Amino acid sequence: MLYLDASAFFKRYLYEDGAADVFDAMNADHEWLSSPVTRVETARSLALRVHSDDQVRAFQQFDADWRLVSEIELDDVVRDDATRIARSLSLRPLDAIHLASAIRAGGPELTMLTFDDQLAAAAREHGIPTLP
């Protein structure tokens, strides 16, 4: 299982450093998990950073890919865990939601794909392996 945050998911549509790592990881593991927050963050990033000529194609691909993602519900448990994590680890609010969502999805086969160093370190502290 591969938990994707927005820093990773976005690289699938804008070819920049790390994009090859994202394609490799997503091709190797077809069970993709994420928070609904990732959908919002990625859509915003696409709107801001993808030029108009490529935007339609990028959004079409993003929408198709998102249908393959299992969303971790933003329920009371995730909210309360994210609040606790934000207090104890000083993570940014959305990163705390990502970590709480990944913890909720859990399991020994879960790996988090993120390019956020602070989130990656916090995930590893909670026993979640990270890529790249």
Q: Residue 45 pLDDT > 80, yes or no? A: yes
Q: What's the CATH class of domain 2-131?
A: alpha beta
pLDDT in the model for residue 14: 86
pLDDT in the model for residue 52: 77
32 touches 26 (CB < 8 A): yes
> What's the number of CA atoms in the CB half-sphere (13 Å) around residue 56?
1
- The pLDDT-based confidence of 8 (bands split at 50, 70, 90) is very high
pLDDT in the model for residue 15: 83
Kindly list the strands in the beta sheet with 32-34, ordered across the sheet, starting from the edge strand earlier in the chain.
69-71, 32-34, 2-4, 111-113, 130-131
pLDDT averaged over the chain?
95
Instruction: Assign 3-class secondary structure to 39-98.
Output: HHHHHHHHHHHCCHHHHHHHHHHHHHHHCCEEECCCCHHHHHHHHHHHHHHCCCHHHHHH
Q: Residue 30 pLDDT > 90, yes or no? A: yes
pLDDT in the model for residue 86: 93
The average pLDDT across 112-130 equals: 96
- The pLDDT-based confidence of 74 (bands split at 50, 70, 90) is very high
